[in-house]
Amino acid sequence: MPFDPTLLAQARHVLVFTGAGVSAESGIATFRDKLSGLWERFDPVQLASADGFRADPALVWGWYEMRRAGIAEARPNPAHLAIAELATRVAQLTLVTQNVDDLHERAGSRDVLHLHGRLEAFRCFDCAKPVRNMPAPAKHAGEGRRIAPPRCAYCAGPVRPGVVWFGESLPGHTLERAFAAAEHCDLVLSVGTSGLVQPAASIPRLALAAGATLVHVNPQPVLTGHPREFALAATAGEVLPALLQAAWAR
Ligand code: OAD
């Protein structure tokens, strides 16, 4: 049975759960897409773990500067804008993202729950003090360019990006709020995620189990095994604006 868009207009509390695919049409690479995915070309153990940073801080910092420069140049796409617009139409919207970019905020979304941190939330690797007022990302921070990380003003430790690396815990309060929303929402839009990284990936399924309708937005096929589970197979930038229009057509 196809998804009935009026269910979106009738929902009181919508949980929007996003992954790298929501930013793909802004020109930001996903992680696991074939050919274009970051983890096809780069080693996550080297670039997204505390051990990797310890072993070669300049390699890791250079890679995040490259990503930061890409994010700074990118603009929110119609999917980010539709999600911000949706928040003005439903009684309650909780936006949970696995992304470390700020494109949801730049599209106008407020109170975004960043489960995997934010790239720009820099802190000292050694003493964990926040580091503010970082200069703009290094220009021409190309692939493989090594850049020594700046040093902490308090302890001279290396500065690290504010992302959750493999083996690290997710921010507890953010995760709690995301789980609470999953238990209480009526409808989940799960947008542009492979659903492979736990515990984040359990959030849409938890909502489904608690009685919500679950709608996947992904150009790749997503298996739907539950009567309240649907898949809209096109890009987020195509699906979300059209979905809003259809939901509030009358
Ligand atoms: P993935 O790269 O694993 O998955 C991206 C998903 O987006 C895939 O299912 C694509 O089919 C889909 N996709 C691609 N283009 C799309 C588009 N235009 N519209 C909609 N969907 C599209 O990214 P995530 O699921 O976000 O962790 O990955 C989860 C985590 O793995 C990330 O947060 C990151 C990574 O390691 C950390 O940084 C801690």
Identify the pLDDT of residue 197.
Answer: 94
Query: Does one domain contain both 12 and 43?
Result: no
Catalytic residue, chosen from 116, 140, 173, 216, is: 116
- Is the minimum distance from the CB of 77 to ligand 1 under 6 angstroms? no
Quote the pLDDT of residue 160: 98
C-alpha distances (whole Å) from 206 to each of 70, 178, 198, 218, 222 are 33, 10, 12, 19, 17
The letter for the amino acid at 241 is P
Among the candidates 128, 163, 198, a domain finishes at 163
- Do 125 and 230 belong together in one domain? no
Block residue for tokens 């990284």: 197
110 and 127, same domain (yes or no): no
Please work out whether the CB of residue 235 comes within 6 Å of at least one atom of ligand 1.
yes
Show the low-confidence residues of the chain (pLDDT under 50).
none
Active site residue 226: no
Nearest Cα residue to 62 out of 161, 147, 123: 147
Give pLDDT, residue 1: 78
Q: What is the pLDDT of residue 144?
A: 65
| Residues annotated within a binding site | 64, 67, 98-101, 124, 127, 152, 155, 192-194, 218-220, 236
Q: Which pLDDT score, from 0 to 100, does residue 23 have?
A: 98
pLDDT tens digit sequence for 117-150: 999 999 999 999 999 989 888 766 566 688 999 9
Dist. CA 7–CA 48, nearest whole Å: 39
What spacing in Å lies between the alpha carbon of 197 and ligand 1's midpoint?
Answer: 10
- Whether 112 and 18 map to the same domain: the answer is yes
How much is the pLDDT for 202? 98
The residue from 102, 128, 163 where one domain ends is: 163
Among 26, 30, 104, name the best residue to mutate to test ligand 1's pocket (greatest count of ligand atoms within 8 A of Cβ).
Answer: 30
Number of folded domains in the chain?
2
What CATH number did the domain enclosing 124 receive? Answer: 3.30.1600.10
- C-alpha 142: how far from chain center: 23
DSSP 156-224: -PBEEEEEPPTTSPPPHHHHHHHHHHHHH-SEEEEES----STTTTHHHHHHHHTT-EEEEE-SS----
Q: Which two tokens stand for residue 75?
A: 């603009």
154 plus 235 within the same structural domain: no
Q: What is the pLDDT of residues 148-186, one digit of tens each?
A: 999 999 999 999 999 999 999 999 999 999 999 999 999
Domain boundary among 163, 178, 195: 163
64 and 5 co-located in one domain: no
84 with 193, same domain? Answer: yes
Q: Looking at the structure, tell me whether residues 153 and 218 fall in a common domain.
A: no
Q: Which domain holds residue 110?
A: 1-27+76-116+169-250
Dihedral (Cα; 23, 26, 28, 32), 10-degree rounding? 50
Asked if residue 222 and residue 177 are part of one domain, the reply reads yes
Question: Do residue 45 and residue 143 come from a single domain?
Answer: yes
The answer on 231 and 173 residing in a single domain is yes
Max CA separation in the chain (angstroms) = 60
Rounded Cα distance between 84 and 79, Å, is: 9
Q: What CATH number is associated with residue 100?
A: 3.40.50.1220
Question: pTM of the predicted model, to two decimals?
Answer: 0.96
Q: Measured between alpha carbons, how far is 182 from 191 in angstroms, rounded to an integer?
A: 15
The answer to whether residues 64 and 48 touch, using CB atoms and an 8 Å cutoff, is no
**Are 1 and 108 contained in the same domain?**
yes
